[in-house]
Amino acid sequence: MKRPALAQISAIRWQLEPHAGMHVPVLFHADAALIEAMDDKVFEQAINVACLPGIAGAVHAMPDAHWGYGFPIGAVAAFDADAGGVVCAGGVGFDISCGVRTLHTGLALADVAPHAAHLADVLYSRVPCGVGSTGDIHLSERDMRDMLAGGAGWAVRRGYGTRADLERIEERGCMAGADPEAVSERARARQRDEMGTLGSGNHYLELQTVAEIFDAPTAVAFGLHRGDVLVSIHCGSRGLGHQIGTEYLREMATAAGRHGIRLPDRELACAPLRSELGERYLGAMRAAINCALANRQIITQLTRQVFERVLPRARLVLLYDVSHNTCKRERHVVDGRERELYVHRKGATRAFPPGHPDLPAAFLATGQPVLVGGSMGTASWILAGTAGNDARSLSSACHGAGRQMSRKQATKRWQGRQVIDELAGRGIHVRAPSDRGVAEEAPGAYKDVDAVVAATGLAGLARPVARLTPIVCIKG
């Protein structure tokens, strides 16, 4: 399709007015360069999302928006059940509750650098990664159901971490409303041996150092100081989430006509929130959120064990854990009144502002930590939710840099061994099961994360707090 004309509201905000069946506008939160860099499919897909029943307010495209399955990755859209709103499996994604968890180590770069290569080797041997990777944990049917209902709390009760961890996790480690019975036997079977594993693609476990501070008071409140070493874990619900997405998308596509829904794109298959199918998907999706939270909790404990062995002075304390592929029931002011909405964030991170009642006490004054991931050789960022971002973006922010080329294009341009050697020359130790996987995730395949974060800050979605650079990357 021809790229539609956008009305420029400010240097960092653009609007696509409703037309051709759209119920709401599309708002782009990005500067002109990032808008230009977006692939044309983003605009087509955002228009299609705006045509779905019961959509409220606007479709929001984050600065890192790029083409995805049905929904653009980096898109936010909310639906009102009272207005016939829907839940869209493609608006959550296949890797349900993929997210980032960041931990302090209590160590400085000078403490870690001499041991970085050894840490990389031991972490790589201890935390399984790659396509179809499995770990040492095997879940019985009862274990599986308890995990899907209990999330990170289940993992803590099994000895993976402490109750203090739960206070620093989105939903305090357990998503209410999960329904293990809505998860198929096939989805459960795929996850039975995959707990405590990173998976593949853009997932990683990184050691990072705080290179720059941009908001000193908030950094202090978050416990961040220049030169600190942090650990970040990026992964999701593995095979279980993918199977849930696959099955429910197929079922929603088949049932759309029965519900009177005309799909602008089959990839936007959805179901009314107030339908048996919609409620069943929400129960399964929430169970997958708990799976992802439990998975990151287990990987956290495996990482702690590695540090106890290599650098026993380290104390891995959780800063925060937040997902970026979810649908959450939240209250937002839209069209002048507070409404209960189902907010789809696909490749976008919740970014609650200071004072939000759902925040842990530690973040009430600062706003929620927003964890923005990089790609092996690029920076990652920690931001904080800002006052007023509810009206701007349904309290949402970017989640990463966003791809600027496909994985196939990346493998034509780079070789994995070449990328690993170049990063080693910069002091970044990469361990990965597949050279091809490294090539697919080459830093150059992504947009400039610093530009994305700058736009996020200027748009008032979240404010930059600290910039992190990688030391070690265990790549999925």
Task: Answer whether residue 302 is part of any domain.
Answer: yes
CA nearest 143: which of 98, 186, 195?
Answer: 195
So what's the pLDDT on residue 62? 98
So what's the pLDDT on residue 295? 98
* Residues paired with 76 in a beta bridge: 60, 345
Counting the structural domains of the chain, the total is 1
- With residue 470 as reference, give the H or E element that holds it: strand 462-475
91: Cα separation from own chain's centroid: 13
Report the chain (476 residues): mean pLDDT per 10 consecutive residues: 90 95 98 95 97 98 96 98 98 98 98 98 95 91 98 98 97 98 98 96 96 98 98 97 98 97 96 98 98 98 98 98 98 94 98 97 97 94 97 97 90 91 95 92 92 98 98 95
Known catalytic residue: 399?
A: yes
So what's the pLDDT on residue 130? 85
How many angstroms separate the CA atoms of 128 and 476, rounded?
Answer: 8
Residues near 108 by beta carbon (within 8 Å), at least 6 away in sequence: 227, 228, 229
How many angstroms separate the CA atoms of 396 and 359, rounded?
Answer: 14
- What is 287-345 written as a DSSP string? HHHHHHHHHHHHHHHHHHHHHHHH-TT---EEEEEEESEEEEEEEEEETTEEEEEEEEE
Task: Answer whether residue 89 is part of any domain.
Answer: no
Task: Answer whether residue 293 is part of any domain.
Answer: yes
Task: Answer whether residue 1 is part of any domain.
Answer: no
Give me the amino acid identity at 309.
Answer: R
Among 324, 344, 399, 429, which one carries the catalytic annotation? 399
**pTM listed for this prediction:** 0.97
Task: Answer whether residue 90 is part of any domain.
Answer: no
Task: Answer whether residue 2 is part of any domain.
Answer: no
Task: Answer whether residue 29 is part of any domain.
Answer: yes
How many angstroms separate the CA atoms of 231 and 100, rounded?
Answer: 10
Please report, for the domain that includes residue 463, its CATH number. 3.90.1860.10
Q: Which domain holds residue 286?
A: 7-83+98-475
So what's the pLDDT on residue 350? 97
So what's the pLDDT on residue 465? 98
Task: Answer whether residue 91 is part of any domain.
Answer: no
